[in-house]
Chains A and B, each alone.
Chain A
Amino acid sequence: MRSLAALLLLTLPAMAEVGPERAATLEHMLIQDCGSCHGLTMRGGLGSPLTPDALAHAEPDGLALIILDGVPGTAMPSWRPVLSEADALWIANYLKEGAE
């Protein structure tokens, strides 16, 4: 039920909800903290590669849900205590587009 509610929320145009300051924080967090497992260049480590190629067939909404809820049975934690839904969707889109 919670995931359904999350999914509904995520269908909102969330990109607009992340201001430039928050975006900078999220970018730093993505590179440094997500990079601990996925690599600074997102080519993978203990975690899967998150390059645009690797995510070519993933939907941003789905990625955002994985970020928020984690993947049971793996080392991917739920980031819901730290990130809002808008944050997660911003990160999903950022990964899809690829860091510069």
Chain B
Amino acid sequence: MDAIRIPPPAELDRLEDEHFRQVVRAFLHDNYPEHLRNPPKRLHWAENKEWYMKLAEKGWLCPGWPKEYGGLGLSPAKQIILTEEYERYGVARTNDHGIVMLGPLVIKYGTEAQKKFFLPKILSGEHVWCQGYSEPNAGSDLAALRTEAVLEGDHYVVNGQKIWTTLAMDANWIFLLVRTDKNAKKQEGISFLLVDMKTPGITVRPIINLEMHDEFCETFFDNVRVPKENLVGTLNKGWDMAKALLGFERIFLGSPRQSGYALSRLKILAERMGVWEEAEFQDRYARLRLEFEDLKALFGVYVEKLKRGESLGPDVSMLKVIQTELFQKITDTMLEIAGENAGLLEPMEGNRDLNIGGLYIQARPATIYGGSNEIQRNILSKNVLNLPG
């Protein structure tokens, strides 16, 4: 690669898009640990800390934060380029809830004291955050959450249970949606609370998922005392704040990248199984391939909107549904043509490109997380098509 000068972080937002892309490539080439490329599973903090700290050291950790808080101040369009290049290079996700969720929350709604205390500790890697939203009886219907915070003197006392707390075992802080008014309408009695995981009364229990991976946890709260200054924003306005944080990042749930990866593996598998040249397979592959190409075109429509400075409407839900269902159709096809190899626990012939069962299982949660596809269809029918009740 030609030597490309990597400008100081504060100058990145001023680069032309194509130049910026080249800079990101060069940055990854120079800095990303080779052994962490394309990990087959989500990495724990012990594994991805090396990369997190490298990003922190270089000042690249928080692309979306304003510069005054230590971020890169990148526009949505540039953040998309950054993400595309990270994905292309096979960069692992870090424990990024502090960067993506908590930071923007505190910047938008936090007090000066909260900003001063929390933001630097995310930037230094001292605080690793996890997210406490879902509960056993509040999944798709998140506003039904019941974990309760009751004010007693200078503390909120928290009782309840969270679930699907991603990588909670790695985190030392958690941000919670809690019920602070049981008598209000369900969306109107919810608040945002920041909790130190070392506080007595918190229990974290890993959940083994279908990938045989402990990515998620259950997190229990038994009379956990939280200083009242750890409330973010206005009491009982947590739901509105959480909704306001759902920004342009929703577009990434519809990124064609996942399907593109699966599609190229389907071709490798079809060649290995000797069916690639068959007319019947070619037509099946063509259908998947064309769906992928049209998804890319539709994704491009939304990227263009962001480049023009427009915000995304509820119709962006379409991308998520189309992408995740295509991803599943591709892995369904892989399973079908693989014969008995479909049942193997490890990749076929020790080749990571032939991870048939693994990819099939990885495709399952895609239609569940980030708002299940059924919820996305509800959003489309109510907020885009304006169908009644």
Q: Do A and B bind each other?
A: no
Task: Give chain A's interface residues, CB within 8 Å of chain B.
Answer: none
